[in-house]
Amino acid sequence: MSEIKKVNLPYQASLLSFFSAVRDLPYPALLDSNHQHFPDTNFDILVANPLARIHPVANGQPISWYTKPFYSLSATHNPMALMNELMSLICQEAWAKSAPKDLPFVGGLLGYYGYESGHFVEQLPDTVEHDVQLDTLSVGLYSWAVITCHKKKTTHLITSPWCPSEEVADLINRFTSACDDVLVKHDLNEARPFRLEAPFSSNMTEAEYAQKFCKVQDYIQSGDCYQVNLAQRFSTRYQGDTFTAYHRLREACPTPFSAYMELSATQSILSHSPERFLLCDQGRVESKPIKGTVARGATAEEDKANADWLQTSEKDRAENLMIVDLLRNDLGRTCLTGSIKVPKLFALESYANVHHLVSTVEGRIDQADQAIRVFHQSFPGGSITGAPKIRSMEIIDELEPHVRSAYCGAIVYFSANGQMDSSITIRTLVADHGNLHCWAGGGLVADSKCQQEYQETFTKVGKLTHTLEQDFLK
């Protein structure tokens, strides 16, 4: 019987050099935990060369096969519905049912969902300017993965029965020839130059932000909503290789849900997210929404004072609780009745530039193919929309001038063995035909202060923009 196979490779503290070894293959993607800074993260995952890709098309079935199709799928135009159907078929395979559950990914779907993928779930307005050319979503069907388990200090090539023997041999040759060590900054820049052509600039002035802030307050006071996540976009032009920029940001802004995805020669996603969206681990579903942010202090005393203030801030705790309630409702749509719990509320997590309040919401499912349905029924994450979700998204569409694209969507995998993990794509940059965009926002509630919320957006994104400007603005 065909089954999952594991090939031992030298342990890799990071998979950056292995990523370089497969960059010439279509749609390479690296899920990069930056584990040394975050003991709760464990796995790095590298994939490339998908068998098929799911992406929206104007008419027809939203899947492009690069090999002979494995399955006969319905004629739906909705990519999320097609992926639900595809994962149901995959999880019924005998090899998928017998696949080890301790591996995060044994073949299956992996990719990104842009924020506007919410239009495939709900009827929503669409009045923003679509000036970013990335697909609304792009998810590959992958037959192999390199997986590093940092706790065990192991690296394996995992191949599914879909992966032909000649491809396995080619991959082993690529990875055994690759350098074990992470490329140092100097060598990386020498080999793959990158530069910004101008500083980042926002798509709204401070006065325009204030007008939008007041509009949100009007909606809150009139009872339309309790919270709205209002974001501004920062953009510039660039030249060169965005993998160099990703490598530098990875050093400057270590996060547990970093990811680098190449979509074409001129399009890529550089994500440095601190926030898990949804995890499914052997039937246990977990979400860790972030709501509540304060800057790190310049001294140890100031840093502790800032953290203490955040943990006792009534506004931030109320904001966090709103999203916890929203997620409990979202997970309740698909998780087993009575399984929803909140084991952690208002926990403090600290990163290079900010402290966050993070809560944990849990539930349970009993079928492998339900993981993708939980994800779709909960998308997009409530921490980056507001509450109630649909009305908040309508207000975001009204007030934000441009498409969010990958920002506030998710990077996710759905494995044939039922495992799933995903991040909320905040602290994320999108490279699109010479344009480089990043976004930052915050949840506005009734007692929010305009200047404080405006400054918070710069606090959140500043480490990314300042690092790139200092190192690559010539």
* Enzyme catalytic residues: 275, 291
Return all residues near 36 (Cβ < 8 A) that are at least 6 apart: 13, 254
Distance CA 167, CA 163 (A): 7
Token digits of residue 260: 């680098």
Structural tokens at position 317:
């705790």
Query: Token pair of 347, please?
Result: 């926990």
DSSP bridge partners of 194: 240
Pair 461, 440: CB distance under 8 Å: yes
Q: Tokens 């490779």, residue?
A: 9
**Which of 425, 372, 289 shows the shortest CA–CA distance to 120?**
372
Structure tokens at 294: 């304060």
Amino acid in position 177: S
With beta carbons less than 8 A apart as the criterion, state whether 116 and 405 touch.
yes
179: tokens are 């350098």
Residue identified by tokens 């559950």 is: 101
> Which are the contacts of 205, defined by CB distance < 8 A and separation ≥ 6?
none
Instruction: Collapse the DSSP code of 340 into the 3-class scheme (helix H, G, I; strand E, B; otherwise coil) and give the result.
Output: coil
Main-chain dihedrals φ then ψ at residue 94, nearest 5 degrees:
-60, -40
> Which amino acid does the sequence have at 385?
T
In terms of DSSP H, where are the helices of 178-205? 185-191
| CA–CA separation, 425 and 439 (whole Å) | 10
Three-state DSSP class for residue 38: coil
Q: Which residues pair with 424 in a beta bridge?
A: 410
**DSSP letter string over 221-260?**
HTTS-SEEEEEEEEEEEEEE-HHHHHHHHHHHS--TEEEE
Going through 311-433 in order, the beta strands assigned E by DSSP cover 341-350, 354-364, 386-387, 410-415, 420-424, 428-432
On whether the CB atoms of residues 422 and 257 are closer than 8 A, the answer is no
